[in-house]
């Protein structure tokens, strides 16, 4: 990409890592629509980030709304440089215990939302170039007990991203990059609410990340695109081994769940009033 930074879009930017990624892009000189299904959160974040940010209500399941957000930023700035698909939702429990609405919601927000955002971004980047960053999850790299449908949605996001990169290169498009960030559990309200949920123990089995650690990973791929980045890296190696040898990975799951449950109990105890 040439010239000064232009437009950048972040989905699910009203709070958490999305908010901090939007802040990073504003600091790098981009104009950023803070998109979220929560209008109040988007408006508050946009006001906090300053003149380069503005609020936009977007449900990533609706391709028309996603395209409208893209067209808006291109009209305002003349070019779309970066698109970050961050919006996501986690509902824990075995698939057979979840109703159809819960399963559909996760698949549509996490997988279809990533597809909608990526396709919309490519439409604006074909001539000028750009970078799509998809915030996925370690759940997209391996088996995750208690989060089967969530993991399915994240595996779909990874598969789509890598396959679309292959399609772009096969079409001779070399000026668009796609990078996937696969973080471990992030210490946000979404995970905090799962402290007493046995089904989410696996999310607590590694290092609980702070949002700024995800932002740092985004900063690094913006400077040097990379197809898949696990955060932290060692968890990505473990996930890769489990995925390469599924029998080994599945055998290790109960041990990892026990570790996660211990962390949950420790955190719950720390939160309890004295």
**Residues with catalytic roles:** 150
Is the peptide bond prior to 50 cis by the omega test (within 30 degrees of 0)? no
Q: Is residue 55 left, alpha or beta, with left meaning phi > 0 and alpha meaning psi from -120 to 50?
A: beta
* Strand, coil or helix: 196: coil
Extended beta strands in the chain, E state: 7-10, 32-36, 53-57, 80-85, 130-135, 176-183, 228-231
The answer to whether 143 and 253 have CB atoms below 8 angstroms apart is yes
The answer to whether 223 and 25 have CB atoms below 8 angstroms apart is no
Return the number of other C-beta atoms located less than 10 Å from residue 86's C-beta: 28
Which helix or strand (DSSP H or E) is residue 8 part of?
A: strand 7-10
- Nearest Cα to Cα of residue 121 among 170, 38, 63, 166: 63
């Amino acid at each position: 990409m040439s010239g000064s930074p232009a437009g950048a879009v972040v989905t699910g930017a009203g709070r958490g890592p999305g908010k901090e990624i939007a802040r990073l892009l504003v600091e790098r000189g981009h104009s950023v629509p803070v998109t979220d299904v929560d209008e109040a959160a988007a408006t508050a974040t946009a006001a906090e980030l300053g003149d380069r940010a503005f609020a936009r209500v977007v449900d990533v399941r609706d391709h028309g709304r996603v395209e409208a957000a893209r067209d808006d930023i291109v009209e305002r700035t003349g070019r779309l440089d970066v698109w970050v698909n961050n919006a996501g939702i986690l509902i824990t429990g075995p698939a057979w215990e979840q109703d159809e609405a819960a399963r559909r919601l996760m698949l549509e927000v996490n997988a279809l939302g990533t597809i909608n955002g990526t396709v919309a971004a490519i439409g604006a980047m074909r001539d000028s170039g750009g970078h799509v960053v998809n915030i996925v999850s370690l759940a997209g790299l391996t088996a995750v007990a208690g989060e089967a449908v969530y993991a399915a949605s994240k595996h779909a996001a990874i598969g789509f991203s890598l396959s679309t990169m292959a399609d772009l290169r096969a079409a001779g498009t070399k000026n668009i990059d796609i990078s996937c960030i696969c973080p471990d559990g992030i210490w946000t309200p979404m995970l905090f609410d799962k402290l007493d949920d046995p089904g989410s123990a696996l999310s607590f089995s590694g290092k609980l990340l702070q949002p700024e650690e995800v932002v740092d990973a985004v900063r690094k791929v913006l400077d040097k695109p990379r197809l898949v980045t696990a955060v932290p890296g060692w968890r990505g190696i473990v996930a890769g081994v489990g995925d390469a040898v599924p029998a080994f990975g599945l055998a290790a799951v109960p041990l990892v769940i026990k570790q996660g449950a211990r962390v949950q109990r420790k955190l719950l105890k720390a939160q309890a009033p004295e």
